[in-house]
Amino acid sequence: MARVLLLFTVPGPGRRERPAAYVRWLDYAPVDASDEAASSMRMVRLQWARYGRSNAPHYDVIDLSRILFPVLLQRDPLKDNTWWLNHYIAPYNTEL
């Protein structure tokens, strides 16, 4: 999953332009075994992804067609820079 930061167009074949997005990637975050919200509901905790072995944030430019659908991410009130994805409110009830 990724957070879309910017939408723009890039030159494509010929004189055609194609839509693209500048994104910041999210990755799975560890969940405590004692965390009742995660264990009782189908929720996944996410955090900002890191690039390779460095501690740098992972940004990318992707083709707009790679974006499947939007999801609602709920900020974790107890931990900075983490979010919850609740499968019950995600469109199409997708499996991760």
- 14-58 pLDDT, tens digit per residue, is 888 999 999 999 998 887 766 665 666 667 889 999 988 888 999
Residue 42, both tokens? 């189908």
Rounded distance, CA 25 to CA 94, Å? 18
Alpha carbon 57 to chain centroid distance? 13
The mean predicted confidence, pLDDT, of the chain is 83
The pTM for the full model equals 0.75
Using alpha carbons only, give the angle 77, 37, 92 rounded to the nearest 5 degrees.
95
Residue 82, both tokens? 């983490």
User: What is the residue whose two structure tokens read 């264990």?
Assistant: 39
Name the residue among 51, 46, 53 with its Cα closest to residue 28. Answer: 46
Quick one: DSSP state of residue 56?
A: -
Q: Give the per-residue pLDDT at 90.
A: 56
Q: Give the per-residue pLDDT at 17.
A: 92
CA dihedral 5, 68, 28, 50 (to 10 degrees): -40
